[in-house]
Structure formats: structure tokens, C-alpha cells
Structure 1
């Protein structure tokens, strides 16, 4: 390479300094590219949902044909053209961070997988899947930085971790949550050697989003507060309810991901496309039965519930739960972050019929955070991300308490968070391909 030829004419210290500056430059440049990718995926997700509404505008029964066919085609692409692009994408990144060398990581976070994630995720949203873009953005961000890291001196998983955390920060416009997510959920250990570089990548991604989209909060600013006294009873009630629901969601997804036993499980393994079609039929039927827009990310619906703007559709949460669960077990590429927040908001909205003395805004924020905690069992990330997305600092203490309660409630249903449990399946598959290489344990 040109750099290597130039470095030969320098002293040892100068060579090391040059390589370190190059690495810093690549981290920042990669953060900019990840920010651009996050913006692209956000725009594609919005347009895909608009296209689904346009396609189903003549009659909602159009979804009975569109959604199953779309699910089948998306799964066909995921299996035949873009393997390892299925599902959220976060488990693939976690698994890649645990693998010991580039050769094993590449199938999980290659640029081909990242491209497939964008294409098939968009296709799923066009066809009415109840999926999000934030999880896929993590895998795409990881893929971008993994590719850039191949050119960097001192190769290490820090590039992959930086890309994934920058993806979270840019997707939600929550830089602090990106850092916390990287520590608590992706790496579960903080390597001080690369901490500054990772933060630099997050800043670059955030500034890119800020320059193009402007300063915004994901769900808008709220002024919800929970007064001391009887209103605090909502914290354990809502946290346990939503934590159990999130744990149930994870348990069912893990059952299907690991493979059901018996004849049914064997049929699903042999016919993944046909099973995806059946799941698509279920999603379409749930949409017709609910009478509310349960397809898509759920961002608009959650925002409407938070701000109590024309939202009389009680029962949204359970129906969104069904649609998201079917979308997840189908295996098509798509995230669960945004749908989980929407489910939590919907469940909290239904609880407001009973908990009438509690401010609806406070109740909804607790429900969103508690359900997300129940699914991923990352309580710190959950309360930080909800706080940053709504710019509501008055709710930090109630959200922290609810996160801890929801986390314990979820563990009654399932012992481990969804992303890490799914990552173990990818690690097991990699171990079968490379029996001589053991994953990194932390």
C-alpha cells in the first residue's frame, strides 16, 4: 500500500504516530458514512410505509395478498441471496464481536449483508411488516466500519463496535444512548484503548444526522412528570405488566429461532419461505382485526399516544404485539426496537383506562421503557434511550425504577435478553463451520 511504502522512510515512532492518526481519521470518516446510511434507511423506511398505505388505500383487504407474498419474497432473498441478513441484525453484531478473527466475522457483517439488510428491510415495510429500522441500522453501521477497518493499522473489533454504536446514535439521534448501548448490550466490556475513537465515530455520525436533518427529538419533547404519592403505584404495575409481555415476546421468538421440536419444527426448517408466507397472512389478518395501523415501525402511532393527539384506538398494543411477533418469527430482515416502543406505548394507553389518576404522558413513557427492557433486558440502555428520545429529564428516576422492575419481571419468563440469546445461535453455527476457533468470552 502507498502508506506502507511511505512509512518505510520514517522512524519507528513516526510510523506508529502516522498509523494512529490514520486510524483516528478512519473512525471519524466511518462515523460520517454510518450517519449517512442511517439517514438513508430512515428515509427509505418512511417512504416504504407510505407506499404500503397507498397500495392498501383502495381496500384494506389488499394486505391479504400483498403481505404474505412480500414476506415470502423477503425471506427468499434473505435465505438465497443475503444469508445472515435475517431478523434484527443486532445479534449478528454481538456474535461477530465474540468471534476471534476477521474470517469468521465477515459472513455476519459484510457489506453484502449490509446492503441486503437495507433492501429486504425496505421490502418488508412496503408489504406491511411490523418491523423497525434501528436494529438493521446497527448491523449496517457495523458492516460499514468492519469494511473500513480492513484498511486500518492495528486491526481490532473496535471498528465493528464503533460502527454499531454509531448506528444506534444516528438512528435515534441519541448519542448518549449509543455509548450506553455499546457498553451494556454490544460489548459488555469497555475497552479504554478504543473508547475515545468510538465516541469520535458516534460524534461524527451524530453531526452528519444533525447537519442534514437538523436538531430533533425522536418522539418530540415532552413535559411529563410523575408526582410523588399514589401516582407512583403505576411504576410497579406498568413495569411488571410490560416486563412480562416483553419477556413473553422474547421467549416465543427464541423458541422459533432455536427450532421447534417435532414435525412442526422440521417443516419450518425445510420450508422457511412457506412459513414466512403463513406469518404474513397472520400479520394481515391482525391488521384487519385491529382496525388500527399496526403495520410498519409504529413510530407515528407511539408519538401520537405520547402526545395524546387523536388517539382513541385502545387495543393497539396487543395487536401490535401479535403483528411484531409474527414478523419476528418469520425471519425476514427487520428490527424490533421501534415496534417494541410502540407496543409499550399501546399497553400503557390501555392501562390508562384503569390507572385514571396518573398523567397519560408519564404512564406511556414508563410503558415504552418497561416493554423494551423486558425484550432486551438492558435496563440502563432502555431508560437512557427513552429519556433522550423525549428530552424529558423529569421522568429519569421513575424510568430507572421501572427499568429495574421490568428487567426482573422479564427474567421470570426468559433468563436472558433476546439479542444475546440469538447471538449464541450464530456463534454455534460459526463453531460448526470453524471447530478449531473458539469465540471470545467476556
Structure 2
């Protein structure tokens, strides 16, 4: 019996074209390599971010006055480096990926996620953490993930379509929180309003590989630790609307304030843009004073106080409002850094204020619902918020209360700030140059 040869016409006709076309194998190889690299780099970035947080805490433990000197000075230095050498690295990183994915073939889009921009983003975000800024690494990891995905695809000579940018950003979210499903949800809600099945497969493949790599090296850890327990229906019917309306409006107030200060066409954007170093100095002083007064609780990502509150620990009533101001001032300064982690911390502080209203219920679950309301009000992505919080706390019993809170929070946030934060900020990075050749 004669066996068919791989290049026989009759044999090829019976085999799906995706299995024999070299460009498809190159695309798969590029996705595999880039997803593994994203996981490895994200883990290294997370370790470096934790180190920067610890170092700043150790320094300020010796003298609280460091907050009043080091923080403003470093804010000015980081702002100067950013606006002089890496203007595309400013802010969160998610708006850059959204802008780049809309016009993937333009040179300006590639600059938004170039290796130089990504490296500057990592270094300057670590600098912001060393300065005591209220920033997170999740947004920068999204930009970093997109940069790695695009550069690896270029190495394999595969065109960088919108799906490549989206998949890289989604893998970044999954690696940052160790939440694979949240990466997929984020790609759907934030990075693209709608996309084809081919892009969906690319996103899921990148997220799966990145997630497996992270879990294989770091273990299947839960970001905030395992939270157990649930809420009775009577408590849900009260807690979800309260947390959704108030938390969503507060989150919307944060977004509206940030857009007024830094958004394209914002009321104070032009004034702040003319004097970036003065703006950074003023914002640094605000963050430094808050750090001094609160003994450093408002500095950094806010991970430790957030985890403590989720575990049912007693926090200070002023934590949420103080963290809100610190996060807004840091973001308004224009220095690189994400708002995911600080927003979750503010939400935890807000949730802690709700716990006296529900003395018979587990405090950690009320805090979690408060986080869902506020975080959704900020990012206006309810599905992403629910999945991130459920995966990051390992809880399934609170999913329905979280969904109710997030949907209400999305509506309430939209009443205060009509524009979605990341999409509005993306307009400031909109590509305008001619297509790349």
C-alpha cells in the first residue's frame, strides 16, 4: 500500500489548511514563546515590585520624615525621566494597549508597545514604588505583555494584528493576578468591544500558556488568600445595592477626577501638561504628607492592608479615603504606574466602612463586595471585576452577590463619569502617523 506523501495534492486536500501552512505554525510558535516569556517576565516584575515596596517600608521605618523628602523628590525625578525619554510609558499602560490595538499597523502603535517603552515602564514603575507612590504593577504588566507579544511576532515574521496586542495584554492580566479567566474577560470588556473567533482562540491560547507557566513555577496560589463564607439572601438584598451605588459613585468620582486632571480635553489637562515637573512635585508632596500622617499605610500597592481587611482584620476608618487621595494624586502626577491594585485597596477600605451595617455577617465578605462596587465604578468592566475578585480570593460562594454589586456599580459609576476611564485615556495615545511599511 502506498502511503501519501505530505505534499501530494490529494493528501493536502484532505488535511485542514491550518495544519500545513508555514505561516500558521509560525503564528502558533510566536504565541507559545511570547506567552511563556510574558509569564516569566511578569513573575520577575512582581518579585521586583514586592522588593521595592519592602525597601521603601524599611527606609521609612527608620524615619517617617523620609516621606516628606524622598517621595516629592523622586516624583519629580521620575516625571522628568518619563517626559524626556519615555513619554509613551506614562500612566497605567492599559490605555496604550487599547490605542495600539485600534491601529496595529501604524508606527506610533508600535512605539506604544516597543521594548524600549516596556523596559522604561518597568524601571520607572519600580521607581514609583521606591518613592512610596500609590501605584500597582498590573497595568504596566498589560503593556509589557503586549510589547513582548508584538516583538516575538515580529521575530517570527508574523503580522501584528489587533489580536496580537489584545492577547499580550490579556496574558499580562492573567500573569499579574494569577487569574486566567480574568485575563480573557479583560480582553473582551476592555481591550476590545468585539472580536473574531480567531482572535478569541489566540487570546485563550496565550492566557492558558501564560497561566500554566506561572502556576508551574510559583504554584497555584491565590492572590489575596482563600476567603470562605457567604451571605444570606437578606444581607445580599441590602449589601449589594448599598455597595454598588455608593462604591460605584465613588469609583466614578475617581475616574472623572483623573480625566479632568489628565484626560484628553480635561479641564486641567493643558495646565498640568505645561508644567509637568511642578505638577509632579505638588502631587508628590500630597502623597508624601499622606504617607507621613498614616505611617506609610497609603504608600505602595496597598496589598497588605487589603489582605488584612479581607481576612476580617480591623482597619482604620480613614484608610479608604486616604488611599483614594493618594492614588488620585499619584495618577495625576503623570508618572508610570497602574491603578488596579490601589483601586482594590480603596475598595477594601470602603467595604470596611460597611461592615458595621452588617454585624451578623462575615466582615471579609462585606469588604469583598465593597471592593467589587468601587473597582467596577473605576474601570467600568463588571465581568472583569467579578472574575478577578473571585479568582484572587478563591471564593465561589460570593459570586452572585459580586455580580449584583458589579452591575449596580457599573450603572452608578456611569452616572458620575460617562466615559470609561481607560478608553478615554487611550485617546491621548491615539496613533496619527502613516502606516508602517
- Match for residue 337 of structure 2 among 334, 337, 340: 334
How far the C-alpha of 1:244 sits from its partner, in A, is 0.7
2:382 corresponds to which residue?
Answer: 379
How far the C-alpha of 1:259 sits from its partner, in A, is 6.5
The separation in 2 between residues aligned to 1:414 and 1:352, in whole angstroms, is 27
- Match for residue 87 of structure 2 among 59, 83, 87: 83
Name which of structure 1's ranges 157-166 and 31-40 shifts more when overlaid on structure 2: 157-166
Name the CA shift for 1:35/1:230 in 2 (closer, same or farther; >3 Å).
closer
The separation in 2 between residues aligned to 1:15 and 1:346, in whole angstroms, is 52
1:203 correspondence with 2:208: yes
Residue aligned with 1:352, SS: helix
Name the CA shift for 1:285/1:48 in 2 (closer, same or farther; >3 Å).
same
- Superimposed CA distance per residue, residues 332-356 of structure 1 (whole angstroms, 9 cap, x where no aligned partner): 0000001111110011112223333
The separation in 2 between residues aligned to 1:216 and 1:15, in whole angstroms, is 36
- 1:2-401 aligned at under 5 Å gives the runs 17-150=21-154, 151-258=156-263, 267-291=271-295, 293-309=297-313, 311-401=314-404
Name the CA shift for 1:44/1:261 in 2 (closer, same or farther; >3 Å).
closer
Name which of structure 1's ranges 356-365 and 11-20 shifts more when overlaid on structure 2: 11-20
How far the C-alpha of 1:358 sits from its partner, in A, is 3.2
Name the CA shift for 1:135/1:266 in 2 (closer, same or farther; >3 Å).
closer
Residue aligned with 1:46, SS: helix
Conserved 8 A contact 1:259-1:269:
no
How far the C-alpha of 1:100 sits from its partner, in A, is 4.9
Conserved 8 A contact 2:262-2:269:
no
- Superimposed CA distance per residue, residues 170-212 of structure 1 (whole angstroms, 9 cap, x where no aligned partner): 1000001100100111011132113222212111211221122
Residue aligned with 2:317, SS: coil
Corresponding residue pairs, total: 421
Residue aligned with 1:341, SS: helix
The separation in 2 between residues aligned to 1:98 and 1:366, in whole angstroms, is 33
1:440 corresponds to which residue?
Answer: none
- Superimposed CA distance per residue, residues 286-309 of structure 1 (whole angstroms, 9 cap, x where no aligned partner): 122334611011111111100024
Residue aligned with 2:233, SS: coil
The separation in 2 between residues aligned to 1:211 and 1:70, in whole angstroms, is 37
Residue aligned with 1:189, SS: coil
RMSD: 2.1
The separation in 1 between residues aligned to 2:233 and 2:44, in whole angstroms, is 43
Conserved 8 A contact 1:89-1:139:
yes
Conserved 8 A contact 1:92-1:109:
yes
Name which of structure 1's ranges 205-214 and 289-298 shifts more when overlaid on structure 2: 289-298
Conserved 8 A contact 2:167-2:206:
yes
2:429 corresponds to which residue?
Answer: 426
The separation in 2 between residues aligned to 1:88 and 1:408, in whole angstroms, is 24
Name the CA shift for 1:25/1:228 in 2 (closer, same or farther; >3 Å).
same
Name the CA shift for 1:261/1:295 in 2 (closer, same or farther; >3 Å).
closer
Conserved 8 A contact 1:238-1:348:
yes
1:3 corresponds to which residue?
Answer: none
The separation in 1 between residues aligned to 2:108 and 2:329, in whole angstroms, is 30
How far the C-alpha of 1:424 sits from its partner, in A, is 1.7
Conserved 8 A contact 1:110-1:143:
yes
- 1:399-438 aligned at under 5 Å gives the runs 399-427=402-430, 430-431=431-432, 434=433
Name the CA shift for 1:225/1:137 in 2 (closer, same or farther; >3 Å).
same
The separation in 1 between residues aligned to 2:339 and 2:101, in whole angstroms, is 21
1:4 corresponds to which residue?
Answer: none
The separation in 2 between residues aligned to 1:128 and 1:336, in whole angstroms, is 14
The separation in 2 between residues aligned to 1:77 and 1:163, in whole angstroms, is 26
Name which of structure 1's ranges 264-273 and 384-393 shifts more when overlaid on structure 2: 264-273
The separation in 2 between residues aligned to 1:344 and 1:379, in whole angstroms, is 14
Residue aligned with 2:357, SS: coil
- Superimposed CA distance per residue, residues 228-272 of structure 1 (whole angstroms, 9 cap, x where no aligned partner): 12453111111111111100000010011136888x765522220
